[in-house]
Amino acid sequence: MITFVIFIFGLIFGSFANVCIYRMPREMSIVFPPSHCTKCNTPILWYDNIPILSYLFLKGKCRKCSDKISLRYPLVELSCGILFVLMFFVTGLTYMLPFFCILAFCLLVITMIDYDFQIIPDEFSIGLIIIGILISFINVFLGTTISERLINSLLGALAGGGSLILIAIAGKFMFKQDAMGGGDIKLMAGVGTFIGWQRVLFAIFIAAFIGSIIGIALIITKKMKRRDMMPFGPCLAAGSIITLFLPSPSYIVNKIITYEQDLFLKIFF
C-alpha cells in the first residue's frame, strides 16, 4: 500500500516535472499562466490534468483543439513515479525519503532539458548543492557522525565537480574543444553532496561507460559524428541513480583484491 501511495506522489510530481521541462529552458514562469494547451492556449481543467489517466481518456489529444499531446508527458510522469518508488527502496520509509525523491526529481528534469537543449539549469544543480550540504548532518548514507557526514558531503561536492573540471581541462587540451559543460560540473557537485565522494566518482565512471556505449552506437548508425557533442547530463543522472543500488566502491575494490589474491595463491601455491 505504501509503495502505491509513493508511486502516486511520484506521478503528481511528474506532472510538475513536465511543466519545468517545457517552461524553464524557454525562460517562462513555472507558476503563471496555469497549465494550458501549447497550441490553442486553452487552460487545462483539473480533470484533464490527472497524470497518465487524462492522457489515456483524451486519447492523447487536446479536448478543445484536438491537437496531439506528446507521449513524452505521460512517460515523464510514469518515470517520476517509478523513481520515487526506487528511492523508497533505497531509503525505506525514513526522513531521508523526501530528500532523495527531490534528488530523483531534479535528475529527471535535468535529463530531459539537457537532452532537448544541452543545458542544465542552475536552479537544479546549485539547488542540489545547497540542499545536500544543509541535510548532510542527518544523511545516514554519508557516515555515522555529524562531522563525518558533513565532511563526506563537502568532499562529495569537491570530488564530483573537481573530477569533471579535470576532465574538461584534459579534453580541451587534447581535442581543442570543450569536453565538459559547466552544468555537468555543478550537477555532479550537487549529487556528491548527497552520496559522498566515493559513490559520486563511481557514478561518473558508470556515466562514462553508458555515454561511450551510446556514443559508439550513434556513430556506427551515423546519427552522430566523432567530434559532435552529446548531452552528458542524462548519462550522469543514470549513473547517479544506478550507484545507489550498488555496494560501496570500497567494498567492490576489496572484493576484487581478495579474489585476485585467492587466484594468485591457487596458481602459484
Report if residue 98 sits inside a domain. no
Whether residue 129 is found in the same domain as residue 254: yes
Q: What pLDDT sits at residue 122?
A: 93
Whether residue 260 is found in the same domain as residue 127: yes
Q: Can you give the pLDDT of all 269 residues of the chain as single tens digits?
A: 899 999 999 999 999 999 999 999 998 888 888 888 777 878 888 888 899 999 999 888 888 888 898 999 999 999 999 999 999 999 999 999 999 999 999 999 999 999 999 999 999 999 999 999 999 999 999 988 999 999 999 999 999 999 999 888 876 776 666 667 789 999 999 999 999 999 999 999 999 999 999 988 888 887 877 777 788 999 999 999 999 998 766 666 566 667 656 666 666 65
What's the chain's Rg over C-alpha atoms? 21
Whether residue 168 is found in the same domain as residue 247: yes
Report if residue 49 sits inside a domain. yes
Report if residue 115 sits inside a domain. no
Report if residue 131 sits inside a domain. yes
Domain, as residue range, for 31: 1-93
